[in-house]
Amino acid sequence: MAVLNPLEHLYAARQASRVFMKPIHLMARMGQGMLSAPLVPGLDDGSGWGTRAAFAALEMVETTTRHYGKPEFGITSTAVVTRTGDIISTPVHIETVWSHPFCNLLRFRREAVPGAQLEAQPKVLIVAPLSGHFASRLRNTVEAMLPEHDVFITDWIDACEVPLAAGRFDLDDYTQMLIDIFRFIAETGGERVSVLAVCQPGVPALVAASMMAEARDPARPASLVLIGSPIDARRNPTPSNEFAASKSLEWFRQNTIVRVPWPNRGAMREVYPGFLQLYSLLLMNPRRHVEAYVDHFRHLAEGDEDRVLTHRRYYDDYLAVMDLPAEFYLQTISRVFQEHLLARGVYDYRGQRVTPAAITDIGLMTIEGEKDESTGLGQTQAAHELVTGLPDSLRRAEFVKGAGHCALFSGPQWCGRIQPMVRAFVAAHRRAI
């Protein structure tokens, strides 16, 4: 009789816990609702610290018993500038314009505004990392790009919800999917797309661009912006890089891969569980997360709504995780973090050697953070050494002092310093198809 993988026991137990925790979760929400009633003093008028403290305690119960599903982007409008310099708010509609069993391509369509030539603005594809979190973690990335760009994003589908009949999805499939998306946007929009690859997608994005450049594909990207990407994970390896290199691929297969249980739509599919990725991230800096929740309790009790909303928004995204296709995860560990194939010049894509030197007219920008805890210094910039056929006029390498990983695509440093550089680079390298 087959022996169940202990991790599969944990996967099943985690699913079962959603059912057992639901009554507690609902009772906590009901309690919050009662304390929020108009006749209950102290929550909104600032007179009852005890009421607010009780509300805060119930929120701690509610958040720890909640199942964090896929978050919404929640982007409903953006500001655009007209030819006369006026700033006008316009509605944004999120549309699925292209589909794949493992990914939807979303477009953030802005409604037409008198005097604003939205259709003439650069088309930008944001490639979200397939690393355990949903694409909504790049909400701030999208928001900052929207006013002056026609923005698309890869919206990954939780692998546990993809039927087994849909087949495998490995790193080569990922690369082919990006090629198909580049072509789709170029053919429907009349210009080569500018690509922002955030973290992990830097490798398949560079591979896709290299293959298209070598084939002189007219839909190859106009520019490629790599943000905190492990192009050469040998350089200044982080603890996660070292861990990936310290174990055999078979160890990862035996200890991190499970089959999705029934009744999920993807039952029997092999996956790397999202909760495993979340636990590893939490354990990297547990003190920071504990302190964040202690501060959150205090802000709730003090009625500091701005900080409460900031915490909720961050952890609603952070604690919502998805499963990854096992073949993609294992190939990424092997090719990127153990064998370093692209960095060594021996990366093959479906039997064909990848040649980044074939890139001659795709603008390349790399962005690294001084305190990036996920991608060490030099790992992203290594792309410039591979793209030897690209003239200096099409290159830019940026180092952001004091920035951690998330600050490269979200928050004050992204909005105030990095995004303006990206915007200028995209504008400088636009090309028609």
Peptide bond into 114 cis (omega under 30): no
Residue 342's domain is classified under what CATH number?
A: 3.40.50.1820
What lies within 8 Å, CB to CB, of 403 at 6+ separation is 369, 370, 371, 372, 413, 418
Tokens standing for residue 240: 């996660």
d(CA 320, CA 89): 30
Residues 29 and 85 in one domain: no
279-289 confidence digits (pLDDT tens): 676 666 778 77
What is the model's pLDDT at position 4?
Answer: 52
Domain finish residue from 266, 297, 318:
318
Contact indicator for 221, 209 with CB cutoff of 8 Å: yes
Angle between helices 239-246 and 274-284 (to 10 degrees): 130
Q: Taking residues 345-367, what's their average pLDDT?
A: 98
d(CA 312, CA 238): 28
Residues 161 and 202 in one domain: yes
Contact indicator for 274, 322 with CB cutoff of 8 Å: yes
What lies within 8 Å, CB to CB, of 146 at 6+ separation is 75, 78, 92, 108, 110
d(CA 425, CA 206): 17
d(CA 370, CA 121): 32
Least confident stretch, 205-209, 319-323, 360-364: 319-323
Residues 96 and 203 in one domain: yes
Residues spanned by the domain of 54? 6-67+274-318
119-139 confidence digits (pLDDT tens): 889 999 999 999 988 999 999
Report phi then psi at 74, rounded to 5: 70, 20
The DSSP output letter for 197 is E
Residues 229 and 282 in one domain: no
Reduce the secondary structure of 227-241 to three states and give it as a string. Answer: ECCCCCCCCCCCHHH
Residue 265 located in a structural domain: no
* Share of residues in the chain with pLDDT > 90 (%): 66
171-224 confidence digits (pLDDT tens): 999 999 999 999 999 999 899 999 999 999 999 999 999 999 999 999 999 999
Q: Taking residues 323-346, what's their average pLDDT?
A: 97
Q: What is the mean pLDDT of the chain?
A: 88
Is pTM, for the whole model, over 0.85? yes
299-309 confidence digits (pLDDT tens): 767 777 788 78
Please give the single-letter amino acid code of residue 268: M
Contact indicator for 97, 171 with CB cutoff of 8 Å: no
Number of domains in the chain: 2
Residue 263 located in a structural domain: no
Residues 187 and 38 in one domain: no
What is the model's pLDDT at position 2?
Answer: 44
The sheet that has 270-272: what strands, in order across it?
Answer: 258-259, 270-272, 324-325
Residues 197 and 296 in one domain: no
